Amino acid sequence: MVIREVEITNFGKLHNVKLSFQDGMNVVYGDNETGKSTIHAAVRAILFGLDRQRGKASRTDEYSRYEPWANPSSYEGMLRFQEGRAVYRIYRCFGRNHKKTEIINETTGEELSEEELRQLLNGMTESSFTNTLCVGQMKTAPGQSFTEELQNTAANYLSAGDTEWDIRRAFAFFAAEKKELMKKYQPKLEETVRSAERELCAIEEELLQQSMHKEKAQAELREMRKEIEKEKQAYENSNKRKRLVYTELGISIVSFFIMILCYILNDWRDGVWIFGILALTSGFFAWKGHRLTKTSFAFMEAEKRERLLSDQIRKVEWKLEQMRERAAMYQNSLEGCRRQLEENQKLHKQIESLILAEQTLKKVAASMQSTISGQMMDHMSQLLSEITKGRYQKIYFQGNQELFLYEEGRKIPLYQLSRGTAEQVYLALRIAAADCVMGYYTFPLLLDENFVYYDDERLKNTLSVLAEQKRQIVVFTCHHREETFLREMEKNCLLLRL
Q: Give the end-to-end CA distance of the chain in Å, rounded to a whole number.
A: 24
d(CA 8, CA 30): 16
Q: What is the pLDDT of residue 263?
A: 65
Give Cβ neighbours of residue 150 (< 8 Å, ≥ 6 apart).
138, 403, 414, 422, 425, 426, 429
Q: Note the pLDDT of residue 9.
A: 93
β-pairing, 394-398 vs 86-93, is unpaired
Give me the pLDDT at residue 147, please. Answer: 47
Q: What is the pLDDT of residue 325?
A: 76
What is the predicted pLDDT for the residue at 199? 73
Q: How are strands ordered across the β-sheet holding 402-407?
A: 394-398, 402-407, 410-413
Q: How does pLDDT run across 364-395, given as a tens digit for each residue?
A: 666 655 555 667 778 888 888 888 888 888 88
Distance from CA of residue 431 to its chain's centroid?
A: 37
Predicted local distance difference test score (pLDDT) of residue 21: 94
pLDDT of residue 363: 73
Contact by Cβ (8 Å): 167, 159: yes
Binned average pLDDT, 10 residues per bin, the chain of 498 residues? 93 92 92 88 91 75 86 90 93 89 94 90 79 62 44 54 56 79 73 72 75 74 70 62 60 65 61 58 58 56 73 76 74 71 78 81 64 71 85 73 75 82 81 71 84 87 88 90 89 89
Which residues lie below 8 Å from residue 248, measured CB to CB, with a gap of 6+?
Answer: 282, 283, 285, 286, 289
Of 229, 228, 213, whose CA–CA distance to 314 is shortest? 213
pLDDT digits (tens, 9 = 90+) for 139-178: 433 344 444 554 555 555 555 444 445 566 677 777 888 8
pLDDT of residue 240: 60
Q: Write down the pTM of the prediction.
A: 0.59
